[in-house]
A and B are shown apart, each in its own frame.
Chain A
Amino acid sequence: KNQVEQSPQSLIILEGKNCTLQCNYTVSPFSNLRWYKQDTGRGPVSLTIMTFSENTKSNGRYTATLDADTKQSSLHITASQLSDSASYICVVSPYSSASKIIFGSGTRLSIRP
């Protein structure tokens, strides 16, 4: 069964610090990997999208990396801000169908002042 596993489940860091969130997947082959940010009480919003041939993608203070050989991705957040408090969801799309995309259960990040 295709799976997307994220770690840690939750993380608390101080404002201004950096952090890295992990995503391991078993979907193979796959078309693309996306990271979404979900604020409390809101729907997920796309941060980055990477195809299998890309190994890094940045969006402001967010940088996603992808190692297709080890089937791992990470999301690095630099100089965290209080507004970064949210859940971060890793999403993998297999070749088979857009309707078969698989969501990880997310990492809940809390930024403390």
Chain B
Amino acid sequence: DAGITQSPRHKVTETGTPVTLRCHQTENHRYMYWYRQDPGHGLRLIHYSYGVKDTDKGEVSDGYSVSRSKTEDFLLTLESATSSQTSVYFCAISEGGGRANVLTFGAGSRLTVL
């Protein structure tokens, strides 16, 4: 997990409240990604960024927004959390967006929405 820090690592919140997860990298990589991991599912892409202020939607983007104002920080926001957003969220980085670039993952943020 060297070079990527996710915060908070654990959070419990109530339905309808806003939540922001932060991903911070020290590798100066251009690409950053947010995934969610649920039992029985592979990691699914929520949003990704290919540069400062450049973001795009992934497979499961509904209910989530992102922002990237600096190379090192990528924020994931749940405007109004729902129980279906209870999950483990992983941030990942890669040097480029090319097919051969390996993703490096953070340690994950476990979110529980009651």
Contact = CB atoms under 8 A, between A and B. Distances in A.
Contact of B99 (A31, A41, A102, A106): A31
Interface in A75-95: 89, 93, 95
A63 interface: no
Classify the secondary structure of B's interface with A.
loop
A44 B102 CA distance: 11
A95 to B, nearest CB: 7
B100 A46 contact: no
Interface string A46-61: 1001010000000000
B99 A93 contact: yes
B101 A41 contact: no
Interface string B78-114: 0000000000001010101111111111111000000
Interface size classification for chain B: 20 to 34
Contacts, number: 59
B108 A41 contact: yes
Contacts of B48: 99
Contact of A42 (B1, B101, B102): B1
B60 interface: no
Nearest to A103: B42
A71 interface: no
Contacts of A106: 42
9 tightest CB-CB pairs across the interface, nearest first?
A43-B105, A103-B42, A31-B99, A103-B43, A98-B97, A93-B99, A105-B42, A46-B102, A44-B105
Interface of B: 1, 4, 31, 33, 40-45, 48, 56, 58, 90, 92, 94, 96-108
